[in-house]
Structure 1
Amino acid sequence: MSQAKVDRYKEEKKNRKKTMKKEKRQQRLVKFCGVLAAIVVVGWVGYSGYNSFVKGSTAAGKTYSVDTAAIDDFMQNLPGEETEAE
């Protein structure tokens, strides 16, 4: 081996721990950013889906009201067992 190669190898061996720490840190950062991006995308899709579901379930804002007075009167006038308190 040439002297330049030997010197480069020694320098690389001397800085190997620093290089490994730096590579591990970069890998963790990449994984963290990937997980964060995935969480953001899933949250956005879930939020959008929920909003469209809620908007669709309200029947486009239509509301109905029913007067049940006639049914109540009918139910009160039905013949049935009546008990008298003595």
Structure 2
Amino acid sequence: MSQEKVDQYKKNKANRKQIMRKQKMMHAVRSTLMIVVAVALIGWLGYSAYDSYESKQPRKMAEIDYTAVNTYLGTLTASE
């Protein structure tokens, strides 16, 4: 081995704990990031599927009975 390689090997050996800790930390960060992206993607797909399903359902129509209001207004105009 050349002297440069020997020096590089000694340097790496001396810092091996820090290098391993940094590699483990980066692995944890990458894994967490991938999990967050996967959850967001699954959530988006689920929301899209639910929205698509709901948009195909028939709309409920509401009917309003105004007879009570008309009766009340009739009594107001009759008393004047």
Higher normalized helix content (fraction of residues): 2
TM range (shorter): 0.5 to 0.7
- Select the residue among 60, 63, 67 that pairs with 2:61: 63
Higher-Rg structure is 1
The corresponding residue for 1:72 is none
Q: Write the deviation string for residues 13-71 of structure 1: whole angstroms up to 9, x where unpaired.
A: 000000011111111111111111010000001011111212212x1x36387xxxxxx
Corresponding position of 1:70: none
The structure-2 alpha-carbon separation of the partners of 1:52 and 1:9, relative to structure 1 and needing over 3 Å to count, comes to same
TM (norm. structure 1) is 0.63
TM-score by length of 2: 0.67
Aligned to 2:4: 4
**3-state SS, counterpart of residue 13 of structure 2:** helix
Other-structure match for 2:37:
37
Mind listing any 5+ residue stretches in structure 2 that lack a counterpart? Answer: 64-80
Unpaired segments ≥5 residues, structure 1:
66-86
RMSD between aligned residues:
1.9
